[in-house]
Amino acid sequence: MDTLFTPYRLGNLELRNRTIRSAAFEAMCKNNRPTKELFDYHVAVAKGGIGMTTVSYAAVCESGLSFDTQLLLRDEIIPDLRKLTDAIHAEGAKASIQLGHCGNMTHRRTCHCTPIGASGGFNLYSPTFFRTMTRKDIEEVAKAFGNATRICIEAGFDAVEVHAGHGYLISQFLSPYTNHRKDEFGGSLENRMRFMKMCIGEVVKAAGDKIVVTAKLNTSDGFKGGQTSEELIEVAKEMRKLGVQAITLSGGFVSRAPMHVMRGQFPVPVFVHYFPWRQWWLKLGVLVAGHIVSPTVPFKHLFFLEEAKKFQAAMPDFPFIYVGGVTSREDADRVMDEGFPLLQMGRAVLEDTDFVNKMAADKHHCSQCEHSNFCVGRMYSRSMQCHKNCVDITPAMERAVKRINRQNDRMERKLGYKK
């Protein structure tokens, strides 16, 4: 059999194949609890052949909420989550969930307190000021990661993924770009890892042998002055010592290099179209400066592969999970050939929840996702959807998406990323 469609054992968990739906915010919650749309989407992905689907990204406490439509883990939603995991299991897939805290990437209106971060400052994206976390804050948030893990166990999840990348709270402590502390949580890498170690320690303790613990980590922050792969390899080694059983290798920083995470253009016209008029200043700001604060990073297949291989070389006997630009069966097979035991996909299974089944049936199958990032622009105010599946898209928005696709296509051909 092809490696891609052979079972894989991760800790005490056996996946039916090597594919995982990557943690990607769906914006499919109401009052920070699951909706039928969230249920239907993940069950469809499970039915579509995925080995494990990841619900994300879930806030471990209220101060960690980025969005009103984000999942907030608490006891009262355990029955709703149990219905979701039972339905995923009934389709033969496993269920994971991403645990995160947004840190300074929020607003008081959303998190109902002054936003917090590794260090204080101003968030241009909200916009709002945020304060430096105290020792009490740090201890409370670390304990919240452990409590969230307990909730996930009771809700029937098979795995949790600790979000330590993309410039959210744990990443804000790890990166010298956002961590300017002068105490035991700042300065040296050892100090900057201290908060991460507290959070993962609480997760591992709560998990025991009941649930698999994985993490998402940057291969690099994606800009000068951020963390490099050399330093992040040391972070990965520390995660392993702490009891993390697999690490998903990603990259980028939401407050400095957002498009490094997924590549392509930031979809300015989509964001402006869907964002509510009551926040007109954000619509205007994005329209005027969107491409400046979120510059384009051209899409190419397997865009994190070369950096991910550095981690693999440094820790050859550890299971790293590949994510980034897997859009075809050919891409997936190459990831397997490079020695990664598992791979994650986001936009490909948003555009078509049956993508994995189609790869199993056809070795030449390729996703029809065009990487316009319409789904990203829409998720800030509506649920994350591909424009092809979106029932409320207007003709003008369709034209805007086609224009973005043409621009991306010209850029990718010019750079040799597309034939």
The amino acid sitting at 226 is G
The catalytic residue among 125, 168, 177, 322 is 168
Say how many C-beta atoms besides its own lie within 10 A of residue 225's C-beta: 9
Residue 168 bears catalytic tag: yes
Give the list of residues 6+ apart from residue 140 with CB closer than 8 angstroms, or none: 61
Half-sphere exposure of 287 (CA within 13 A, CB side): 10
Q: Which are the catalytic amino acids?
A: 168
